[in-house]
């Protein structure tokens, strides 16, 4: 029986690996990017009605691909904000959270930060729909990642992580998509928190980075190993304690606080993108081709975990 079970697991893995053959649909991602960025009022904490409008859109998209999709409302200073959650995969399996924040910092469109991550998350839901998944995936659009609530318990990711902890949910891991659309091929287009890292990673901003901390847990190790097998785009691994600048600069930090194995996939934000938290962070600066490749490789890694 053990040999039969092992053979069945082998067949399942082979099927899962070969079944993700469709390319990411860059036209669909562009549609999501346009919805997120082309609004007369910016999607920040000062405009909860705009965030609500986007939450409704995100929920409607996730309903197309997920078994269920719903909002997770919570109150901050007498105002209601909302995470949006879609679930896909076997209901009795451990949870795998895949998320991106949909709010912006101040008065800007936030194309890379973080409409790129949200569009990528929605496309992952489409690509993984109907796949033989081993985990129950929660696709989560977090709110209030940006200032003035960054690093606080008012972050949508903290609220979601706390709810999982309270429920004693069986969480296998958490994947945070944080700025995945900005790439450059020119020399010296990539900076690092420590200058000496250029000796190991180079100075060209043409790669995607998996950011995690030491003692990262099984999910972080296994997912990183699967993703680094990708040959369509360079994938770098950066492991460092959270005191290193930038390592915990997104929603994955909320899950670290509760002991979950969590990592961030990023184009490295302000270490590469000069438009970070600026009005110039617009759709025209994104590389949709390479952004699509990143999502394809993430999808392939997820189905073979």
| pLDDT at 19 (0 to 100) | 52
Using the predicted structure, report yes or no on whether residue 141 has a pLDDT greater than 80: yes
| pLDDT at 23 (0 to 100) | 86
Across the range 100-122, mean pLDDT stands at 98
Across the range 90-113, mean pLDDT stands at 97
The CATH classification of domain 2-303, taken from the options 3.40.630.10, 3.20.20.70, 3.40.630.30, 1.10.10.10? 3.40.630.10
Q: What percent of the chain has pLDDT over 90?
A: 82
Q: Exposed/middle/buried for 146, CB within 10 Å: 0-12, 13-18, 19+?
A: buried
User: Domain coordinates of the chain in residue numbers?
Assistant: 2-303
Where is pLDDT greater, at 110 or 246? Answer: 110
| pLDDT at 248 (0 to 100) | 87
| pLDDT at 5 (0 to 100) | 43
Using the predicted structure, report yes or no on whether residue 113 has a pLDDT greater than 90: yes
pTM of the predicted protein model? 0.92
CB atoms within 10 A of CB 267: 29
Using the predicted structure, report yes or no on whether residue 86 has a pLDDT greater than 50: yes
Q: Exposed/middle/buried for 142, CB within 10 Å: 0-12, 13-18, 19+?
A: buried
- Mean pLDDT score of the chain, rounded to an integer? 92
| pLDDT at 277 (0 to 100) | 98
| pLDDT at 20 (0 to 100) | 64
Where is pLDDT greater, at 286 or 194? Answer: 286
| Least confident segment among 91-100, 152-161, 194-203 | 194-203
């Amino acid at each position: 029986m053990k040999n039969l079970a092992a053979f069945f697991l082998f067949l399942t893995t082979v099927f899962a690996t070969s079944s993700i053959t469709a390319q990411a649909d860059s036209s669909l991602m562009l549609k999501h990017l346009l919805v997120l960025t082309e609004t007369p009022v910016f999607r920040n904490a000062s405009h909860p009605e705009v965030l609500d409008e986007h939450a409704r859109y995100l929920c409607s998209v996730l309903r197309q691909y997920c078994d269920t999709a719903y909002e997770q409302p919570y109150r901050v200073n007498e105002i209601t904000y909302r995470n949006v959650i879609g679930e896909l995969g076997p209901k009795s399996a451990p949870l795998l959270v895949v998320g991106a924040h949909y709010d912006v910092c101040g008065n800007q469109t936030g194309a890379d930060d973080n409409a790129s991550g949200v569009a990528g998350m929605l496309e992952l839901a489409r690509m993984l729909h109907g796949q033989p998944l081993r985990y129950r995936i929660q696709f989560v659009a977090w709110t209030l990642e940006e200032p003035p609530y960054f690093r606080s318990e008012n972050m949508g990711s903290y609220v979601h992580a706390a709810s999982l902890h309270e429920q004693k949910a069986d969480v296998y891991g958490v994947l945070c998509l944080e700025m995945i659309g900005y790439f450059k091929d020119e020399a010296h287009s990539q900076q690092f928190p420590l200058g000496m890292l250029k000796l190991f990673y180079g100075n060209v901003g043409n790669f995607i980075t998996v950011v995690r901390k030491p003692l990262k847990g099984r999910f972080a190790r296994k997912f990183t190993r699967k993703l680094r097998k990708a040959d369509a785009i360079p994938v770098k691994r950066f492991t460092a304690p959270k005191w290193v600048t930038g390592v915990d600069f997104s929603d994955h930090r909320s899950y670290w606080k509760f002991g979950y194995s969590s990592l961030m996939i990023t184009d490295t934000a302000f270490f590469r993108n000069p438009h970070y938290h600026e009005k110039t962070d617009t759709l025209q600066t994104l590389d949709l081709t390479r952004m699509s490749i990143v999502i394809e490789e993430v999808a392939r890694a997820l189905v073979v975990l």
